[in-house]
Amino acid sequence: MDYRLPCKNMKDIAYGGGIREILSRADELQRSGRDILHLEIGRPDFDSPGPAKRAAMRALESGDVHYTDMAGTFELRSEVAAKYSRDAGLDVDPGRELLITGGAIEALSTVFLTLLSPGDEVVVPAPYFPPYEDIIMMAGGVPLRVPCTMENGFRPQPGDIEKVVTPRTRAILINSPNNPTGATLKADEISGIADIARKHDLLVVSDECYEKFTYETDSPHIYMASLPGMRERTFTVSAASKTFSMTGWRVGWLMFPAQTRQYIMKSHQSIATCANSFAQAGVAEALRSCQADVDRMIGEYKRRRDLMIEMLSGIEGVTVPVPSGAFYVFPSIKGLGVPSFEFCTRLLEEEGVSTVPGQPFGAPDGYFRATYCRPADEIREALARLASFAARL
């Protein structure tokens, strides 16, 4: 049988791109009895808020076990709309401008399947969340990578974005706060990117999954859709996953211009039909009543970030910009003189600390990603081991 795989749109996509190999090796070592410290997966370690769990259980008990409206329950869409009104001053119509999805990843897939024709280009600042390029290519599009440098705090510069735009460019993808660098765009950078979108008549896909994870009180999250003239060209992606520590619930959302709704709905129907019914009830409750849980978790993340930065800064050969958002650090190890893959592999094999090299995120050699969504004592132990490993190099 000739399966003719991979199909044309998949042929340049590498599964996992190196992350999977590290993860499976970490799991293998752990199964063999080794004590492994996991700084590789961006999976919050807190329990989901109690009121959200109880609301989901009530929904399940009361027979809320069927398809919901394809766009999501009106209850949840209304809570998401209220959230954008509170946080961004946006007046969002839950009937025409919101879709509830199976996590942020489904929102991203839905949006690119809807927007791209074969050969359409999407500007993707790098380092980036690895599925971006994959989704764009699966939708037949072409990612245009814009490298961001550590000197600019890994923030995409509007001038660099404009340089790669061509007549085939359809959209700019931004992710602030960023996975894997923790960088957050400054106000003038966001408005510079918005200017380019308006000037070249481009759409913007803004992945704001980490919108609540900002640590500098003088620079709260800026919603791309709230900038003048941007609402009609912005597709905002977000989720309950990180904000409420609900990654396993698989609930996210997409805010879009009302004119695109019928096409967005077609893609979503084919991908997911609707998000999980009782999980939507839990997320509605989280948005309604669990802000104090979010504040508590963000406070703890900030303490862990400060601990991680303090310990990493003391290691010779490691340079680390202070991330202002998300829950990752992206240090340079150029001063240690080993390639990133070797660094991460040996750190795992010799010290039992699991991290990810920078290349799968579209970064050049010389960086790695570590997450601080682990308890402080684990972070302390992991970085002590990392320091003794670095000293041996």
Q: Least distance (Å) from ligand PLP to the CB of residue 180?
A: 8
Q: Which is nearer to ligand PLP, 47 or 61 (CB)?
A: 47
Spatial CA neighbour of 135 closest among 104, 98, 166: 104
Q: Which is nearer to ligand PLP, 127 or 352 (CB)?
A: 127
Q: Tell me if 102 sits within 8 A of 252, measured CB to CB.
A: yes
Q: Least distance (Å) from ligand PLP to the CB of residue 282?
A: 14
Q: Least distance (Å) from ligand PLP to the CB of residue 46?
A: 15
Q: Least distance (Å) from ligand PLP to the CB of residue 188?
A: 22
Q: Least distance (Å) from ligand PLP to the CB of residue 243?
A: 10
Which residue, judged by CB position, is nearest to ligand PLP in the bound state?
103
Q: Which is nearer to ligand PLP, 209 or 348 (CB)?
A: 209
Q: Which is nearer to ligand PLP, 6 or 248 (CB)?
A: 248
Q: Which is nearer to ligand PLP, 338 or 370 (CB)?
A: 370
Give one DSSP letter per residue of 189-212, joined into a string: HHHHHHHHHHHTT-EEEEE-TTTT
CA separation for the pair 89, 98 (Å, rounded): 16
Q: Tell me if 359 sits within 8 A of 284, measured CB to CB.
A: no
| 3-state SS, residue 98 | strand
Q: Which is nearer to ligand PLP, 105 or 318 (CB)?
A: 105
CA separation for the pair 258, 94 (Å, rounded): 10
CA separation for the pair 8, 140 (Å, rounded): 9
Provide the β-strand partners of residue 329.
Answer: 370
Q: Least distance (Å) from ligand PLP to the CB of residue 5?
A: 25
Give one DSSP letter per residue of 318-340, joined into a string: -B-PPP-BTTEE--B-GGGTS-H
Contacts of 93 by beta carbon, 8 Å cutoff, 6+ apart: 81, 258
| Footprint on this chain of ligand PLP (rule: CB under 6 A) | 42, 103-105, 129, 175, 179, 207, 209, 239, 241, 247, 252
Q: Which is nearer to ligand PLP, 204 or 318 (CB)?
A: 204
Q: Which is nearer to ligand PLP, 84 or 129 (CB)?
A: 129
Q: Least distance (Å) from ligand PLP to the CB of residue 264?
A: 17
**Residue given tokens 């303490």 in the structure block:** 303
Give exposure, 92-105, as e/b (b: 16+ Cβ within 10 Å).
bebeebbbbbbbbb
Q: Least distance (Å) from ligand PLP to the CB of residue 263?
A: 21
**Residue given tokens 């040996």 in the structure block:** 346
150 token code pair: 């550590």
Q: Which is nearer to ligand PLP, 84 or 244 (CB)?
A: 244
Helix (H) or strand (E) holding 279: helix 277-289
Q: Which is nearer to ligand PLP, 175 or 276 (CB)?
A: 175
Q: Least distance (Å) from ligand PLP to the CB of residue 250?
A: 7
Rounded (10°) CA dihedral 366, 41, 381, 321: 40
Q: Which is nearer to ligand PLP, 84 or 318 (CB)?
A: 84
Q: Least distance (Å) from ligand PLP to the CB of residue 239?
A: 3
Q: Tell me if 313 sits within 8 A of 284, measured CB to CB.
A: no
112 token code pair: 């690119």
Q: From residue 112, how far is each of 195, 227, 255 by CA, in Å?
A: 22, 22, 14
Q: Tell me if 181 sits within 8 A of 368, measured CB to CB.
A: no
